[in-house]
Structure 1
Amino acid sequence: MSEFRMPSLGADMEAGTLVEWKVAPGDRVRRGDIVAVVETQKGAIDIEIFEDGVVQDLVVAPGSSVPVGALLARLEGEAGMPAAAPAPAAPIVPKPVAAPAPVPPAALPPAPQQEGRVRATPVARRRAAALGIGLEALRGTGVAGAICLADLPAEAPPRRGGFDPVGMRKAIAAAMGRSKREIPHYYLTQAVDLAPALERLERMNAGRAPPERLLPAAMMLRAAALAVAEAPDLNGFWEADGFRPGDGVHVGWAVALRGGGLVAPAIRHADRMPLDALMAAMRDLVARARGGGLRGSELTDATITVTSLGDRGAETVLPIIHPPQVAILGFGRVVERPWVVGGAVVPRRVATLTLAGDHRASDGHRGGLLLARIEALLQKPEEL
């Protein structure tokens, strides 16, 4: 028997409200499955399970406020699970057949019981739990009268609330106050000529539809991720026993929320992603951060954070490290400045790059090498 507890979704979280369960007792779960939705100051977050097992009982009812670390559910481990049916080597595509005439609902028998439980497909059972519908009230049209997905209502009632801007601001202030008290920050800034990178970006975007175009932020993030991969002492966490390096370059991308506040969900292995894939991942995170649907792991996996102020921001940002990370990078707004190229002063598009580092894990020399590497990559954008 194992226990599933309320996870910490960041240094600024003390408790969360369980909005709904996505599973029911008796359901089999696999690592990475979404099992619950928790409301925090950052909005409704999908919570994943991190082990395989069978749900034995749900300890907390929806609507309850639960402290971080409190018991949510109990699971039986793999040893007590029935053997899973082997997955087919390739999907089987059935031949098209004429659809049978629909059976009037009144002619369908109540959903059959099997060992005290209503017979239903796993996906239907999960969907019913998400909708808060009792299976006993439904009639099944599947094999042997089992309830299938088509037997459930097509639309779910609204479940996700917006984030609490006042609560989020308090949480951010608490986390940043802790950061400034506990982390000995050092700051470095570097002006970077972005003309080569932006010119390549314009060439890549030629002929693309607006939704498919790459933004300058994607190229900046790509350069940062590649450089951080070469600086493991700036990519990880400071814990009670000292520095723990990250298991990959999982960049937390800072997203400003409508109405105030921000979150920085992680793009896992950002250094391995080509520009188009990275741009797609950034758009996806922004959409889900503002509309709901972030996963708990995305709020806890980041090994370093990158923030970009965009074309409407300030020229320079002095970011605060998000504990337990040990570094954060910031890109200011791109501006046109006089720049010396080949002995002549010419107008160039320039951005100020800033690093905030944790002096317990690194120093200014190491941080300076990181900024120099990012600048070098942006000068040779064909390598990005």
Structure 2
Amino acid sequence: MGLFRMPSLGADMEAGTLVEWLKKPGDKVASGDILAVVETQKGAIEIETFEAGVVDRLMTEVGQTVPVGTPLAMIRAEGEKAMPEPPLSPAMAKASPAAPPAPVAERPAVLAALPSGEIKASPAARKFAAEHGLDLSGIEGSGPEGAVVFVDVEAALRRAPAGPAARTVVAPEPQKPSGPEGMRMAIAAAMARSKREIPHYYIGHAADITASLDWLAARNADRAPADRLLFGALLLKAVAKALRQFPEFNGFHRDGRFEPSRAIHVGMAVALRGGGLIAPAIHDTDQLPLDRLMGQMRDLANRVRAGRFRSSEMADPTVTLTSLGERGADWVMPVIYPPQVAILGAGTPAVEPWVVEGKVVPRQICHLTLAADHRVSDGHRGALLLRAIADLLRAPEQL
């Protein structure tokens, strides 16, 4: 029997709102199946399970906002008996022997997260009471340890006389901004934490990508536009392959120590149409053939801009690449996204004068930058990483 919990989808995420269940009790699930859709400040995210079995019960109601780590559902192995409903404590059983079990959304695991000193009430009850102007202090709770639950608020609402004067009106709890404003605040919080906690160092390198662009032109000559490779695919693959040689840039800094990642999941920064930026992962970037990598880049960009992406894509990046593409900026000085330890940036490729075999000739140049965590690596290794990426871009047939 395992718990399916609200996942952490980034350093800036504290809670999520369940907006849809895609499975119900009794449904079989396999690893990778989508169980639910959760709304965060970054948009609607499809939450996957990585445990096969049968959905035993749902523990959170649609519309409920819960902290990261809160149990959302319980999954049992096939053939395992369903878990019985937890019994009431002796004190509660004595107080209300005939009381029906509380709804699955009103479990003590959620109530335990309430700040001390406040009236004990489930999030769903608080929201419902605020919407109807009811004061929780005047409602007798029937939930665990006397907590006010949704059905208590419903009963109080039915008992209340009609008319606004008959109720004690309380102002609803302030809500965090949503949409572009909420995302901008989430990004600001994560970046402020990054600059406050991570000792950044920065390195830049001008890479001659003429060979890459010539190779792409020849490769794309007979292809339909939808099947053509873009320079971004070469850049992603070059970054991923170079990281094999420099594992100290691929992983996470947690609890005072570095945790290298064996897998290389490069997060690709994507600008959202409504404002904001996210960097979901392309899994096993170093192992993907270029055509498949290009296909995944297109698919990911389309889904992200449509507001649909998966929890694993948000939680799994081991390093991030941000490319300004056609934005026209020569270079970018990025900020590390914690708990990652490095982020690479690429400016817009442009023709510049370049010395080749003693002659000044026009070449296509892309300015690469690296921001890295000085607790884990140093400038010497960072310079070698950028040089390795540039060398791969000069020999695109190796990608």
TM more than 0.5: yes
1:73-222 to 2 correspondences below 5 Å: 73-78=73-78, 80=80, 164-222=179-237
Q: Structure 1 regions of 5+ residues with no counterpart?
A: 83-162
1:326 to 2:368 alignment: no
Report the Cα distance in structure 1 between the residues aligned to 2:245 and 2:51, rounded to whole angstroms.
Answer: 32
Residue in structure 1 matched with residue 42 of structure 2 by the alignment: 42
Partner of 1:312, secondary structure, is coil
Among 353, 357, 362, the alignment partner of 2:372 is 357
1:373 Cα offset (Å): 0.3
What is the TM-score normalised by the length of structure 2? 0.74
Report the Cα distance in structure 2 between the residues aligned to 1:3 and 1:247, rounded to whole angstroms.
Answer: 26
Residue in structure 1 matched with residue 117 of structure 2 by the alignment: none
Contact 1:53 1:81 in 2 (8 A): no
One-letter amino acid matched to 2:203: L
Among 218, 242, 247, the alignment partner of 1:232 is 247
One-letter amino acid matched to 1:66: V
1:313 Cα offset (Å): 3.5
Contact 1:306 1:328 in 2 (8 A): yes
Report the Cα distance in structure 2 between the residues aligned to 1:11 and 1:211, rounded to whole angstroms.
Answer: 35
Report the Cα distance in structure 2 between the residues aligned to 1:258 and 1:334, rounded to whole angstroms.
Answer: 23
Partner of 1:10, secondary structure, is coil
Residue in structure 1 matched with residue 329 of structure 2 by the alignment: 314
Larger C-alpha radius of gyration, 1 or 2?
2
Partner of 1:229, secondary structure, is helix
Aligned structure 1 segments of 4 or more residues deviating by more than 4 angstroms:
none
Residue in structure 2 matched with residue 245 of structure 1 by the alignment: 260
- CA deviations 1:326-364 (Å, max 9, x no partner) are 001100011111100110001111110000100111111
- CA deviations 1:171-215 (Å, max 9, x no partner) are 000001111111110000000111111000100010111111111
Among 300, 309, 317, the alignment partner of 1:285 is 300
1:35 Cα offset (Å): 0.3
Report the Cα distance in structure 2 between the residues aligned to 1:50 and 1:192, rounded to whole angstroms.
Answer: 40
Report the Cα distance in structure 2 between the residues aligned to 1:299 and 1:44, rounded to whole angstroms.
Answer: 11
What is the CA RMSD across the aligned residues, in angstroms? 1.4
What is the TM-score normalised by the length of structure 1? 0.77
1:55-70 to 2 correspondences below 5 Å: 55-70=55-70
1:247 Cα offset (Å): 2.6
Report the Cα distance in structure 2 between the residues aligned to 1:39 and 1:284, rounded to whole angstroms.
Answer: 21
Residue in structure 2 matched with residue 5 of structure 1 by the alignment: 5
1:76 Cα offset (Å): 2.0
1:379 to 2:399 alignment: no
One-letter amino acid matched to 1:76: R
1:67 Cα offset (Å): 1.2
1:75 Cα offset (Å): 2.1
Report the Cα distance in structure 2 between the residues aligned to 1:274 and 1:81, rounded to whole angstroms.
Answer: 44
1:79 Cα offset (Å): 5.7
Contact 1:187 1:357 in 2 (8 A): yes
Report the Cα distance in structure 2 between the residues aligned to 1:36 and 1:313, rounded to whole angstroms.
Answer: 39
Among 235, 256, 259, the alignment partner of 2:274 is 259
Report the Cα distance in structure 2 between the residues aligned to 1:77 and 1:205, rounded to whole angstroms.
Answer: 49
Contact 1:251 1:306 in 2 (8 A): yes
One-letter amino acid matched to 2:191: M
Report the Cα distance in structure 2 between the residues aligned to 1:341 and 1:327, rounded to whole angstroms.
Answer: 32
One-letter amino acid matched to 1:45: I
1:6 Cα offset (Å): 0.7
Residue in structure 2 matched with residue 148 of structure 1 by the alignment: none
One-letter amino acid matched to 1:383: Q
Residue in structure 1 matched with residue 149 of structure 2 by the alignment: none
Residue in structure 2 matched with residue 274 of structure 1 by the alignment: 289
Contact 1:45 1:294 in 2 (8 A): yes
Report the Cα distance in structure 2 between the residues aligned to 1:19 and 1:76, rounded to whole angstroms.
Answer: 23
One-letter amino acid matched to 1:266: A
Among 309, 329, 333, the alignment partner of 1:294 is 309
Partner of 1:19, secondary structure, is strand
Tell me the percent identity.
59
Partner of 2:211, secondary structure, is helix
Q: Structure 2 regions of 5+ residues with no counterpart?
A: 83-177
1:241 Cα offset (Å): 4.7
Report the Cα distance in structure 1 between the residues aligned to 2:328 and 2:34, rounded to whole angstroms.
Answer: 36
Residue in structure 2 matched with residue 142 of structure 1 by the alignment: none
